[in-house]
Structure 1
Amino acid sequence: MSTEAIDLNSVVTLVIQHKVRGGSLPKYESWLRKAVKAARLQPGHLGVNVIRPDGGGVTFTTVVRFAQAAQLQAWIDSAERAVLIEEVQPLLEEGDHPLVHDDAEFWFTPVDTLQPPRWKQACVTFLVILPLALLVPLLWQPLFRLLPWLGGYVPSNAVITASIVLLVVYLFMPPVTRFFAGWLSQR
């Protein structure tokens, strides 16, 4: 990923669900590693998360984030992805149906699944944000002392809030929701 600033309003997410045919799981896993590696090499790529099926399930959900819609569209339309999709088709029951989302709605609600109860979403979010809310301000304190104008009420809160939001969205929430997936899906 480049060091240039990312406009969070332009970040887009590609959500792909694949229902794998019986007996094709090892081949699909091998193909998935290859596809994830290829996606990571694309311009504007921000991350990939794979949500594996629970228990004996066969539906994999792959979430790919790009910095801009044009970069995502270039990946969707690429010859490389077309070859990958052609390779995987025999392993799938219902084909490849990518969906594009332009917001963070995918945190808790993968396509075609029931949304966890809001109280569970709140608990997981609290568990992620609380440690960050305690730690991030302490990490910024040396810079705030060095640059008093940045340590003012509004600038310091803007910097701290932006840091927490970026850490939650891009670093912590995806693995935490995977970790709690079983609990989140229980009714």
Structure 2
Amino acid sequence: MNSDQKPDMVTIVIQHDIRTGSQSDYEQWLKRILPIAAEAPGHRGVNVIKPPAGTNRYTVTIRFETLEYAEQWLASPARRDLIREAAPLMEQQEKVDTITGLEFWFTPPAGQPQKRAKPWKQFLLTLSVIYPLTLVLPWLLGPVFGAVPVLQHQLISKLIAAAIIVGLMTYVIMPRYTRLAQKWLFN
């Protein structure tokens, strides 16, 4: 990515391997840090994935508006102090990855080896969703566009269709679709 370009959304993926018997203390610690993170500038949401059976790895994903906001949170004194406090609960130092753009759709689920999906598989999976959406959605929206004169302008109708497709891809379809296809995707 060119240094002048700024990603629209950044996700920090943090993995903590917790010492056996320390899970309860760690979860109490999480209850304190999550509201503090939520107050950070540019914060857009958080998700905690508890360890699959037989493991002690918690995965925390935090979304921010920009890379700058994400970096500010990671370097903040409040976070540094809280991580120092949680260090005795962890088997090793935390692992932190910063993911920008569409890459987040193709992150292996917790408990799987952290390898990247092959680009050609990412391409095929994304195409298999976008192609049908670009065929069906404009057709479904056609009556709405026809009924409202301002929406008949091609630039406006295409913008609306594209915004709906991107929203569906980001928040509805791809998180579920990549989970469904994970065996193929990460093999």
> Given the two structures, how large is their TM-score scaled by the length of structure 1?
0.70
Residue-by-residue CA offset, 1:24-80 (whole Å, 9 max, x unaligned): 111112222322222222111112122222222111221111111121121111121
Contact preservation (8 Å) 1:14, 1:99: yes
Residue-by-residue CA offset, 1:77-128 (whole Å, 9 max, x unaligned): 112111211121111111123222222212232484245799x989997998
Contact preservation (8 Å) 1:116, 1:184: no
Contact preservation (8 Å) 1:108, 1:177: no
Structure 1: unaligned runs, 5 residues or longer: 1-6
Contact preservation (8 Å) 1:51, 1:178: no
SS at match of 2:149: coil
Distance 2:6 2:144 in 1: 24
Deviation of 1:139 after TM superposition, in Å, equals 8.8
Q: Does 1:23 align with 2:15?
A: no
Question: When the two structures are aligned, how many residues end up with a matched partner?
Answer: 180
Partner of 2:7: 9
Partner of 1:144: 145
Distance 2:66 2:143 in 1: 34
Partner of 2:75: 77
Structure 2: unaligned runs, 5 residues or longer: none
Bigger radius of gyration: 2
Q: 2:98 aligns with which of 84, 100, 120?
A: 100
Partner of 1:62: 60
Distance 2:103 2:16 in 1: 20
Deviation of 1:150 after TM superposition, in Å, equals 2.6
Contact preservation (8 Å) 1:14, 1:65: yes
User: Which stretch shifts more, 107-116 or 21-30?
Assistant: 107-116
Q: 1:43 aligns with which of 27, 41, 44?
A: 41
Distance 1:60 1:71 in 2: 23
Structure 1 pair 86/138, CA: closer, same or farther in 2 (3 Å)?
A: farther
SS at match of 2:151: coil
Deviation of 1:12 after TM superposition, in Å, equals 1.5
Distance 2:132 2:35 in 1: 32
Distance 1:37 1:25 in 2: 19
Distance 1:182 1:153 in 2: 37
Taking only aligned residues, the RMSD between alpha carbons, in angstroms, comes to 3.8
User: Which stretch shifts more, 161-170 or 10-19?
Assistant: 161-170
SS at match of 1:166: helix
Partner of 2:166: 165
Partner of 1:4: none
Deviation of 1:23 after TM superposition, in Å, equals 0.7
Contact preservation (8 Å) 1:17, 1:97: yes
SS at match of 1:104: helix
